[in-house]
Amino acid sequence: MTELAIFDLDGTLLDTIGDLAVACNAALALRGLPQHSYEEYCGFVGNGILRLVERALPEPLRTPHTVAAVRRDFVEYYTAHIDLRTRPYEGIPELLRTLAARGVRLAVASNKFQAGTSKLVARFFPDVEFAAVLGQREGVALKPDPAVAEEILHRVPVPRDRVLFVGDSGIDMQTAAAAGIRSVGVTWGFRARTELVEAGADHLIDTPAALLDLL
Phi/psi zone of residue 139: left (φ > 0), alpha (ψ -120 to 50 degrees), beta? left
Please give the Cα distance from 133 to 148 (Å, whole number): 10
168 is catalytic: no
Describe the crossing of helices 114-124 and 64-80 by its angle, rounded to 10 degrees. 20
DSSP assignment of 100-138 equals HHTT-EEEEEEEEEHHHHHHHHHHH-TT---SEEEEE-T
Residue 82: what residue type?
Answer: I
Q: CA 215 to CA 202: how far, in whole Å?
A: 13
Active-site entry in 8, 10, 15, 172: 8
> Hey, which residues are catalytic here?
8
